[in-house]
Structure 1
């Protein structure tokens, strides 16, 4: 579809130029961007991710009945048949006997890296340890997905990306922003959870090409990435819930102002002796 093609290359070419070349209107393209996603389709996408993550968290042992119970405990009730259907479509099944074989395309625990941090979130200098994660943000009638990269030295947000889909491109854009504005050296550790996006081959190759050491949390252990969990909690309490954004543009502008102006440059952080991330980095640079 022409609109989808334009959306894929907005970082490389002007929208006006692409619309002219493809002979479509700019207004039509922007209307397409704002097209509503049905509640049923959105829930399906979310449940697919939840089922995949839960399946992996329990080391491929659980089948549809147990996965359905785990999801209900997490606040996402669904029928066993619903889970079984998604598992069938994704080509995953429980490991339950010596005759079991993983399908060629099943979600085995591929591309999992060791936990290099082991909850040591301290850093001696900028660009030594980064951590990254994705959170969900509800805007009117759809979910937005925010990927963030944090430098653990100062807790500064050095990269972020907001989109309507939770894909490998989302996290790569956030990482690309961080790498473009920071001077990194080989050996930088980037820590994340074991989400499917962070284990995608394209993302792994991208980090390795930039000589980055990859670290991942243990299965289902959110505290292995506690600084990011803390940031997302602050973001939602201080911005998302009070503002209750109604459009994507409003949310994007608000998140930009919160991260780049308030959080990075004004908000005092206990891990920084009570100063903002930018002020903490500037003081460290002067003392060096």
Structure 2
């Protein structure tokens, strides 16, 4: 219930604001629109408002204060407060808040201006919709409207429906909204015009599609370095492009796009199918066969020149490529230490289980090659599976037995008497020669070998080589670097790898620091 002063204040403010109900409610925070309209009608009829007895509230001041405090302390939500306390109604709580803490009342603002589109804007939007090559939602976004409104405009313009224009002037709200009928014949004329524009746009799109395919096929077949220009193409080149696209487009449309007469096209097709090098092909194949497939295009060209036939070397090379006349050639093999089964094979004990619970339990070894302008360098390391520490390594210019045997001798010297690691390698000859086997047996070490040609069996050692080359070899210029200088750089990197290069798997420590943290003697 509102007092007489509150009601008369609202009515006078409504008259002052030219009967703008929303402005009065937003400023005062009360009442509802219907209540304000009833008060205004009563004031307009009687010149004043009635003064009835306002009954006493059923809620005590303590209950009112409790409700307002809960509202302020729990996010200022009227509905949440009413739901939690079970009293009062939301309008009553709003009144209590205005009475006790008016400055902290949260008001909801609504309304706003609506975008008004002109008829020309609607027509342009409908044209874009009818000629689109993308979803209607994207077209609507470009024109600042919704997909539903866009289709409504299309129905109104193309099906002769009525278009209503809304006048939102505040002074005319009490009088109602005015509507304007659009002449059906005018809409039909607009429809015909739009359909003709759509048809023209579709033809233009089809023409551009043909032109695009012609340029793509020309770039694929002609392959000119300076780009493709349809006006500068020869009739032969045009005929080749048309032949490639005849299964997709009609011949008449292709000839029109290429600006070529049909008689010229037919003539070029006959010349394309005629091979002027028929006799030359027979001579080239005969010479190649008589040479027992040993002559390349240069020697065949020389033989033809001796026989009195003048032709370009490029023509000979093209004919040999088309006729698949290839001189047999053996490719150079990359370095491999495998020399056959020169000693009995050894079981793969490691079997790709590269984890070790303690140092000097599982060792891996292999040889890798570095090729620089000054020559070739070979690295042979032993890697401990416990933490990836390079136990020992040798660097040389030859993958000899001395390279791996020296490395093994240095590694054995670092072992204690109770340490007998498993040494895993590939099936290279270095690890099957008597020198290697004798050293292994004397130190009571266990041999383990990968399967033939199976690099994953020694992937942990291969991973060390990959990290090494990525970090210090690949991407660097070694021109002007001597072999001695490179060996020094490689040795320096391996020492840095063992002493300072951190590994995430070791908790951000280097292999040596990791062993020190475990109290292991290094």
Residues 221-261 of structure 1 deviation map (CA, whole Å, 9 limit, x = unaligned): 1111111111111111111224444211111111111111x
For the 8 Å contact 2:370–2:378, the answer to whether it is kept is yes
| Counterpart selection for 1:137 from 329, 345, 370 | 370
For the 8 Å contact 1:186–1:210, the answer to whether it is kept is no
Q: Shift of the alpha carbon at 1:142? A: 1.6
- Say yes or no: does 1:276 pair with 2:520: no
Partner of 1:124: 357
Gaps of 5+ in 2: 1-327, 334-338
| Counterpart selection for 1:254 from 461, 464, 489 | 489
- Say yes or no: does 1:160 pair with 2:389: no
Q: Shift of the alpha carbon at 1:198? A: 1.0
Q: Counterparts in 2 of 1:178-193, with a 5 A limit?
A: 178-183=411-416, 185=418, 187-193=420-426
* TM-score (normalised: structure 2): 0.34
Quick check: which one's strand share is greater?
1
SS in 2 for 1:241: coil
Which structure has more RCO (C-alpha within 8 Å, separation ≥ 6)?
1
Quick check: which one's helix share is greater?
2
Q: Distance in 1 between matches of 2:505 and 2:405?
A: 27
Q: Counterparts in 2 of 1:1-288, with a 5 A limit?
A: 79=330, 107-108=340-341, 110-183=343-416, 185=418, 187-245=420-478, 246-260=481-495, 262-285=496-519
Give the number of aligned pairs.
187
SS in 1 for 2:390: strand
The alignment's C-alpha RMSD in Å is: 2.4
Q: Distance in 2 between matches of 1:161 and 1:173?
A: 7
For the 8 Å contact 1:137–1:145, the answer to whether it is kept is yes
For the 8 Å contact 2:342–2:429, the answer to whether it is kept is no
SS in 2 for 1:264: helix
SS in 1 for 2:393: strand
For the 8 Å contact 2:360–2:420, the answer to whether it is kept is no
Q: Shift of the alpha carbon at 1:196? A: 0.8
- Runs of 4+ deviating beyond 4 Å: none
Larger Rg: 2
SS in 1 for 2:406: helix
Partner of 1:68: none
Partner of 1:45: none
SS in 1 for 2:492: helix
For the 8 Å contact 1:157–1:259, the answer to whether it is kept is yes
Q: Shift of the alpha carbon at 1:109? A: 5.4
For the 8 Å contact 1:159–1:176, the answer to whether it is kept is no
Indicate the larger mover: 218-227 or 243-252: 243-252
Gaps of 5+ in 1: 1-76, 84-105
Q: Distance in 2 between matches of 1:278 and 1:78?
A: 51
* TM-score (normalised: structure 1): 0.60
Residues 6-53 of structure 1 deviation map (CA, whole Å, 9 limit, x = unaligned): xxxxxxxxxxxxxxxxxxxxxxxxxxxxxxxxxxxxxxxxxxxxxxxx
SS in 2 for 1:285: coil
SS in 2 for 1:145: strand
Q: Shift of the alpha carbon at 1:202? A: 1.1
